[in-house]
């Protein structure tokens, strides 16, 4: 069974729903009003299976980032429901939402968002330090080795390559063992070699550590690392693909407007 749309809300809330790390049920998100009104998400229903790598693709402006932000509780929705595990985000007050985001959700942005004055290791453990939590040493070691950053732990971001910086950002998201990681074009500004390093790392963390990852990408080769691809267009899910390959994804995209000339 695939969990992405077209799928009914019942299928995602019933006993046959299986193990879902996150769910969006008929969510809508509207920005602006009057002439400036944009429906960024227009009734999106999907489930993110636990321990799997899911890619989200679609033309520029189709609502991919909005979907990530709404599912990660970084932005509010106008209707529908978002659940992380069995917790419904709209039912939480600000304090609980902040805590849930901190404890259960990892986010990798396209800009690395590293603190320039801290070392790689300090950046990786920063969210846990802020939360007053002690990192699980064994797990942290495993993450650092998987990410291949052990020889660079004492370096500051300016002393690291783009790919290494992005791997620090990935390790930071993984270090606290979040239930789910949302990544918005994590390889968008990396050269293809650094990009593949990051993608291999993300895929390994799913295979070896059972991490759940949702990743937005424009790149069919990047999407091919995922177990399943969900295609968005105009704020709606238009298609899904299991066991994607770059060729299959590219073929499917020919029917869509390619963002930035297909970059």
Contact 231, 255 (CB under 8 A): no
217 binds ligand ATP (CB under 6 A): no
31 binds ligand ATP (CB under 6 A): yes
Q: Which partner in Mg ion, ligand ATP, none is near 259 (CB below 5 to 8 A by kind)?
A: ligand ATP
Q: Which partner in Mg ion, ligand ATP, none is near 188 (CB below 5 to 8 A by kind)?
A: none
> Per-residue x/- marks for Mg ion, 9-48, CB under 5 A?
----------------------------------------
Backbone angles phi, psi at 239, to 5 degrees: -170, 160
Of 59-67, 111-119, 123-131, 248-256: span binding ligand ATP (CB under 6 A): 59-67
Q: Which partner in Mg ion, ligand ATP, none is near 63 (CB below 5 to 8 A by kind)?
A: ligand ATP
Contact 226, 53 (CB under 8 A): yes
The whole-angstrom separation of Cα 259 and Cα 255 is 12
User: Which of 43/61 has CB closer to ligand ATP?
Assistant: 61
The whole-angstrom separation of Cα 155 and Cα 92 is 39
64 binds ligand ATP (CB under 6 A): yes
65 binds ligand ATP (CB under 6 A): yes
User: For the chain, what's the residue count?
Assistant: 263
Q: Which partner in ligand ATP, Mg ion, none is near 66 (CB below 5 to 8 A by kind)?
A: ligand ATP
Contact 213, 68 (CB under 8 A): no
CB atoms within 10 A of CB 86: 7
Structure tokens at 99: 């805590």
Tell me which of 4, 45, 54, 62 binds ligand ATP, using CB under 6 A: 62
Tell me which of 13, 26, 28, 61 binds ligand ATP, using CB under 6 A: 61
CB atoms within 10 A of CB 5: 22
Q: 3-state class of 145 per DSSP?
A: helix
Task: Write the burial class of residue 186 (CB in 10 Å: 0-12 exposed, 13-18 middle, 19+ buried).
Answer: buried
212 binds Mg ion (CB under 5 A): no
65 binds Mg ion (CB under 5 A): yes
Tell me which of 38, 111, 247, 258 binds ligand ATP, using CB under 6 A: 38
Residues 6 or more apart whose CB falls under 8 angstroms from that of 245 comprise 224
101 binds ligand ATP (CB under 6 A): no
Q: Report the DSSP pairing between strands 180-184 and 236-242.
A: unpaired
111 binds ligand ATP (CB under 6 A): no
The whole-angstrom separation of Cα 142 and Cα 179 is 17
Structure tokens at 160: 């690291």
259 binds ligand ATP (CB under 6 A): yes
Please, what is the minimum distance in Å from the beta carbon of residue 239 to ligand ATP?
15
Contacting positions for ligand ATP (CB under 6 A)? 31-32, 38, 40, 58, 60-66, 259
Q: Which residues bind Mg ion (CB under 5 A)?
A: 65
């Amino acid at each position: 069974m695939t969990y992405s749309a077209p799928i009914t809300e019942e299928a995602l809330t019933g006993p046959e729903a299986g193990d879902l790390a996150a769910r969006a049920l008929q969510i809508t998100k509207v920005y602006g009003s009057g002439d400036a009104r944009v429906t960024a998400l227009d009734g999106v229903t999907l489930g993110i299976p636990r321990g799997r790598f899911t890619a989200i693709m679609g033309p520029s402006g189709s609502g991919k980032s909005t979907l990530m932000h709404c599912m990660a509780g970084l932005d509010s929705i106008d209707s529908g429901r978002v659940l992380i595990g069995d917790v419904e985000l709209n039912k939480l007050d600000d304090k609980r939402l902040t805590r849930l985001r901190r404890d259960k959700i990892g986010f990798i942005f396209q800009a690395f968002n590293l603190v320039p004055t801290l070392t790689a290791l300090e950046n990786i453990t920063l969210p846990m330090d802020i939360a007053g939590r002690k990192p699980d040493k064994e797990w942290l070691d495993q993450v650092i080795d998987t990410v291949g950053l052990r020889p660079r732990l004492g370096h500051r971001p300016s002393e690291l390559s783009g790919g290494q910086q992005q791997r620090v950002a990935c390790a930071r998201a993984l270090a606290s063992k979040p239930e789910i990681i949302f990544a918005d074009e994590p390889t968008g500004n990396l050269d293809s070699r650094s990009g593949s390093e990051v993608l291999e790392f993300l895929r390994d963390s799913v295979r070896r550590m059972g991490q759940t990852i949702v990743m937005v990408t424009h790149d069919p080769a990047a999407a091919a690392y995922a177990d399943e691809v969900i295609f968005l267009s105009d704020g709606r899910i238009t298609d899904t693909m299991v066991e994607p390959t770059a060729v299959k994804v590219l073929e499917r995209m020919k029917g869509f407007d390619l963002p930035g000339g297909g970059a």
